[in-house]
Structure 1
Amino acid sequence: QENRITTVQCLSGTGSLRVGGEFLARHYHQRTIYLPQPTWGNHPKVFGLAGLSVKTYRYYAPATRGLDFQGLLEDLGSAPLGSVVLLHACAH
């Protein structure tokens, strides 16, 4: 509405996630973040320490070694409107 842009530079992926988690916990009404399963072991800890509740969504299908697209749609489809979702662009 006010045509403002803000940028933040952080140290490393973990540091960036921590800053993002802290920001969300302080300034966003939704205090739950959905992480893909699997995710890196530090991700739930980083967001939990930032004050967010952590839930997971299906992402990877070991049987096919690919995306569990149906599971992903079901899990994220049942998440409350406005939920925070961490997406991994690396495709494991």
Structure 2
Amino acid sequence: YRTDEGKPWVLPVVRHMEQKLAADETLNKEYLPVLGYEPLASAATRMLLGSDSASLKEGRATGIQCLSGTGALRVGAEFLAHIGKHSIVYSSNPTWGNHSLVFLNAGFTSYRSYRYWDAAKKALDFDGLMEDLRNAPENSVIILHACAHNPTGVDPTQDQWRQIADLIE
């Protein structure tokens, strides 16, 4: 997040929690397990999938904690390329330049983009996005920014998210 002047802006809740954590003398700097802090990963997975998720109840889904967004993308890319045998990935246009390198270096053979930002209208190009995703080959991996699309900051509406989910399900 950035201010109107382009400077980084930290959410007040983040500042509050930083102070709270810094004051907690029971916390230490010990290394976390390789899969991260399990209570955090578990809570995030339940939040994402829903506590009543069949995938969670049946043990078909889990979560891990990664170091940074790029680190999480790399872990996901490695898993999808080597375990899922996926080879084509789509990312929004625009996106960060490291996304292509993360996926190509993890074993994907094709990095493609889908339309996202309409510079002339300064808005989401929803029709273009849907057309590009509709034309993506079956079993393509689609990178979606769940909120605060980086770098545009523009997110689909709830109805648009439903349409995207219906299309790629």
Q: Same fold (TM over 0.5)?
A: yes
How far, CA to CA, are the matches of 2:140 and 2:131 in structure 1?
14
What's the CA shift for 1:29? Answer: 3.5
Q: Does 1:79 align with 2:136?
A: yes
Larger strand proportion of the pair: 1
The higher-RCO structure (CA 8 Å, 6+ apart) is 1
Figure out how many residues of one structure are paired with residues of the other and give that number. Answer: 92
| Residue in structure 2 matching 1:3, options 46, 58, 67 | 58
Paired-residue identity, %: 50
What's the CA shift for 1:22? Answer: 0.3
Cα deviation 1:26-49 (Å, max 9, x = unaligned): 111431110000000111111111
How far, CA to CA, are the matches of 2:133 and 2:70 in structure 1?
24
Q: Does 1:37 align with 2:97?
A: no
Q: SS at the partner of 2:78?
A: helix
Q: TM-score, normalised by structure 1?
A: 0.90
Cα deviation 1:35-76 (Å, max 9, x = unaligned): 000000111111111111211110100011110111111100
Please identify runs of 4+ aligned residues in structure 1 that moved more than 4 A.
Answer: none
Structure 2, unaligned runs of 5 or more:
1-54, 153-169
How far, CA to CA, are the matches of 2:64 and 2:117 in structure 1?
31
| Residue in structure 2 matching 1:69, options 96, 111, 126 | 126
Q: Does 1:27 align with 2:83?
A: yes
Q: SS at the partner of 2:107?
A: coil
CA RMSD of aligned residues (A): 1.6
Larger helix proportion of the pair: 2
How far, CA to CA, are the matches of 1:29 and 1:44 in structure 2?
17
For the pair shown, the structure with the greater C-alpha radius of gyration is: 2
Q: SS at the partner of 1:19?
A: helix
